[in-house]
Amino acid sequence: MKVGIIRCMQTEDYCPGSTDFKVIRDKKGAFENVEEDIDIIGFTSCGGCPGKKAVYGQENL
């Protein structure tokens, strides 16, 4: 499974995203039932409310 993480731009100053990587590595939460390997292919911020730049950010993954 390939996963791209898009986080809220308002939290990027105090949230490095390290918990996101740990949850995926340990297959917890939403990833509990995933049996296949999980590859993180991107990590970006949304670009600010209302998230107009989120789709553009995905194109760069």
Share of the chain above pLDDT 90, in %: 51
Backbone φ, ψ for residue 6 (5° rounding): -120, 115
CA distance 36 to 61: 21
pTM for the structure as a whole: 0.71
pLDDT at 61 over 60: no
